[in-house]
Chains A and B, each alone.
Chain A
């Protein structure tokens, strides 16, 4: 769950997670998105949705950040910038992929200029899909990342003949 430190012991990870619950500071990286998700992130910082109730503040440098908010499909031009920001942020850190482009490539998933998803470049902790996600969805994702909310959807599978009641012809 906590990226950057896969060798972390459960005790250390628990302490780190507890510290994230207090006041995680976020740094925002745009990796070639259309700015729709960025505007929604700004929206969550306004008094209307006021994410500072949970101690979250947007900081201007990844050196101060606990959480990286990544938007965009990771274009080839922005790959280096993203890796710089990821390596500069101190461990332990969380990565939240915001928007369709960051989660699975979005409409740029088969483009030759983009990697198609943040998880192709760096490990991701929480995916927040939506094009763009609503500010409430962003708050839900942030709370899920720091362990204050529960996940609401899970994988669904259905096989005809196994999961249905209709008799075969």
Chain B
């Protein structure tokens, strides 16, 4: 009997503690790591987030002309490493946490970007947006945009290496003949 009275006293002193969750949504606490949200227009397709993701929730699939980033919330740990490495702030953790679905497909996000072909060998090597970004940064640093730069940047890494190697060999040959 005294136990019940004790409980009654505690109940009367404390009042209602239960949160009325579905009726009133409690505001998420400061700094809550909710689901990551992709900004489709800002993503340039560097693939850094997929490399950083510890659980492989973010995966990259490279096809002939397309570059596809897939995010599966059913595997995402909400650790925030993708947000940390993203150079364009295209992936950010939101404060949404009610992710329950009746369907596995609803937990997926798919982002498909176009890849560009090498002007030398015709092999697809990077996304169009990465090239745009590199060009913009180069123009800003060097104060202009040259045709030489366009020749170099539209080549895949293999062709670029070959081109520079040939240029170096030519210069060496010229220097030897002159002396």
Contact = CB atoms under 8 A, between A and B. Distances in A.
B160 to A, nearest CB: 19
B74 A104 contact: yes
- Secondary structure of the A side of the interface? loop
Nearest to A140: B98
Interface stretch (A4-12, A25-33, A57-65, A161-169): A161-169
Contacts, number: 143
Given A100-B76, A153-B73, A110 B40 contact: no
B40 A1 contact: no
Interface string A130-164: 11011011011101100011011111111111011
B112 A136 contact: no
B106 A109 contact: no
A133 B153 CA distance: 45
A129 B18 contact: no
B102 A125 contact: yes
Interface stretch (B19-27, B137-145, B171-179): B19-27
Interface residues of B, number: 44
Given A136-B98, A137-B97, A151-B106, A164 B40 contact: yes
Interface of A: 1, 47-50, 53, 100, 103-107, 109-110, 117, 119, 124-131, 133-134, 136-137, 139-141, 143-144, 148-149, 151-161, 163-166, 168-169
Interface of B: 17-19, 21-22, 25-26, 35, 38, 40-41, 54-56, 72-78, 96-114, 128-129, 131-132
17 contacts: A49-B18, A49-B19, A100-B74, A103-B75, A110-B56, A125-B102, A126-B102, A127-B100, A128-B99, A130-B97, A130-B99, A131-B78, A144-B102, A148-B22, A151-B100, A151-B102, A160-B128
